Amino acid sequence: MTYLDHAATTPMLPEAVEAMTAELGRLGNPSSLHAVGRRARRIVEESREIIAGAFDARPSEVIFTGGGTEADNLAVKGIFWARRAADPARVRVLAGAVEHHAVLDAVQWLADHEGAQVEWIPVDGLGRVDPAAVREMIGPGGGDDIALITVMWANNEVGTVQPVAELAALAREHGIPFHTDAVQAAAQLPVAFAGSGAHALTLSGHKLGGPLGVGVLLLAKGTDPVPVLHGGGQERDVRSGTLDTPAIAGLAAAVEITASRWEEQARSLSALRDELIARVMAAVPDAVLNGDPVHRLPGNAHLSFPGCEGDALLMLLDARGIECSTGSACSAGVAQPSHVLLAMGAGPERARGSLRFSLGHTSTEADVAALAEAIGPVVERARRAGLS
């Protein structure tokens, strides 16, 4: 099997498996006051400190969640509700047009059900947000009516990395909370919460070698969203629910290893990615690379293949033992063009005829060679099928 879908989920690191397994057989609710509860709490708090250290945050800013989607919803909905409660005039939300559906759909829900006035921040043909455009959208009023700005750190489909620090500085200049979904970025690039200037930042365990079903929302001091979940008041009374000690331990182990390898892995993945792009385009000369060719995730290669349907390419490659994606795994199986490519100005045909190849910590040159050998015949067969 050739696995080229690390952006959907990446294999757990051995250290994360070991840390999680060690906790699975142990008793203890970290909210209990007896000995086994205190032991579980110690594991949680030590994990919190590891994660905070890796991402340039304070331990008190680490809020554990059930994954990236929950963290995004908590940030987007919770901050909107809190800002509107403080000032009913704050109903505008500025959101990137190419966000992951965890943000996209949460923002749209606020528009449909909570009276939010949503304005989608445009991107250029490479998927980049222009800070000057955001400044213009804030307007002469200084953003007094804006509840939130949210722009992802790096795009999950085409890999384009956004000028997050510049956008966060612009938001802070106008006293507007800024959220960024860093789920994809954290697996491959140094992510510094305090350094970025963001008020809220989303992470997910299974994207960076940790377990499924656990995530983190980093919340700066003074940023207090209205909770989405109510119950026992865990996690600063922001996210109620019994903490998953084994998953948190596994996440912390994965974060510690991943953060120690950021620079080394970025170099190796970038070289492997460039080789993949070159060999695919040599086999299919009219293939089109999508996204920023320079400011992109090290492990991301997103290409369009004229005259092909992405789903057909996906299944033909899968039959040859090569696993990739037509886009976000969270919207896989939905027969519609990528909203990311459409926002970048691509037509529906190009948007439907695209594949994402994403590399990770287990990727090798043999994976690239397997794809290079298969892609030419696969594209030719898909084009023939499209003409029949």
CB 216 within 8 A of CB 65: yes
Task: Locate the DSSP E strands across 130-287.
Answer: 146-150, 178-181, 200-204, 215-219
Closest CA to 147 of 206, 188, 107, 104: 107
For residues 191-220, b (16+ Cβ closer than 10 Å) or e, as one string?
bebeebbbbbbbbbbbbbbbbeebbbbbbb
**Separation of alpha carbons 128 and 236, rounded Å:** 35
**Separation of alpha carbons 342 and 350, rounded Å:** 9
Neighbours of 284 (CB within 10 A): 19
Closest CA to 301 of 375, 211, 378: 375
Q: Identify whether 330 is a catalytic site residue.
A: yes
Structural tokens at position 344: 């970048």
Question: How far is C-alpha 344 from the geometric centre of its chain's CA atoms?
Answer: 18
Q: Looking at 259, 288, 330, 342, which residue is catalytic?
A: 330
**Separation of alpha carbons 170 and 175, rounded Å:** 9
Q: Which residues are catalytic?
A: 330
